Amino acid sequence: MVAAVSSSTASSATTATSGIAGTTSAQDQSDRFLKLLVAQLNNQDPMNPMDNAQMTSQIAQINTVSGIQQLNDTIKSMSAQYTSMQVMQGASMIGHQVVADGNTMGVSAGVGTAAVNLDADASSVQVQVLTPGGQVISQFDMGAQSAGTHNIDWDASKYTGSGTPTFTVTAKQGTASVGATPLIRDTIASVGTDSTGAMNLSLKSGASIKYDTIKSIL
């Protein structure tokens, strides 16, 4: 007596095929599906054969799974190529000074460099330079400044600390506070990528920043 193969068998075949998606190649999935389909046809009940619509549905499902995997492989390949191109383009920035988000102060040849962005005109702009541990080592007044980005230069000739100093900025217009965003101003020493594939820039001060934090290249 020939064993009957019902719709539950068809469902099992589809489930088995879906279960291997993501762990095998699209070609392997197609081969396994066809073997299951042939076995199903060979063992079906002649009095109750598989419905054509059901067979078409299963074929459409395996084609969809294969297509999605091929699309994922293509996107991964394009992403890897884009990352490589981005790093190659980033190499052209080595040696250039950049302004980026951050509150560390680059120190080179006895000069500390940074920048600040003011949300509005300020009659007084005060800068404090701190050690990596947060101790104030210097403070000075930049005077009145207009809204926008301004360079900060600090005499670091007497700085003997081993770490990269940080800084804070307090700006006021009269007695009213003005928004002041601290910015890194440093020279790019090298470029690379992190574990996620995002491009990182190493600065001469030893700090590391992400590519998308750059405000301008000088």
**177-202 pLDDT, tens digit each:** 999 999 999 999 988 877 777 788 88
- CA atoms of 100 and 15, how far apart (whole Å): 51
Higher-pLDDT residue of 40 and 25 is: 40
- CA atoms of 84 and 189, how far apart (whole Å): 18
SS3 87: helix
Secondary structure E strands in the chain: 97-101, 106-108, 111-118, 124-130, 136-141, 148-155, 166-173, 176-178, 180-193, 199-203, 208-210, 214-217
Average pLDDT over residues 28-41: 72
DSSP-derived secondary structure for 32-67:
HHHHHHHHHHHTSBTTBPPPHHHHHHHHHHHHHHHH
Higher-pLDDT residue of 97 and 20 is: 97
> 217 pLDDT band (50/70/90 cuts)?
confident
Find all residues with CB under 8 Å of 112, minimum gap 6, and list them: 105, 106, 129, 152, 153, 154, 155, 156, 159, 165
Q: Percentage of the chain with pLDDT > 90?
A: 35
Query: Does position 137 have pLDDT exceeding 60, yes or no?
Result: yes
- CA atoms of 86 and 109, how far apart (whole Å): 31
Query: Does position 127 have pLDDT exceeding 60, yes or no?
Result: yes
Higher-pLDDT residue of 13 and 124 is: 124
At the topology level of CATH, where does 92-217 sit?
Answer: Immunoglobulin-like (2.60.40)
Query: Does position 121 have pLDDT exceeding 80, yes or no?
Result: yes
| Sole residue written with tokens 């509150």 | 103
The predicted pLDDT at position 29 comes to: 65
Q: Where in the chain do CATH 2.60.40.4070 domains reside?
A: 92-217
Helices (H), 43-170: 52-90
pTM exceeds 0.85: no
The predicted pLDDT at position 180 comes to: 97
Query: Does position 166 have pLDDT exceeding 70, yes or no?
Result: yes
Query: Does position 76 have pLDDT exceeding 80, yes or no?
Result: no
Average pLDDT over residues 29-48: 72
Distances (CA, A) of 47 to 8, 51, 104: 17, 12, 80
The predicted pLDDT at position 162 comes to: 80
The predicted pLDDT at position 4 comes to: 42
The predicted pLDDT at position 32 comes to: 75
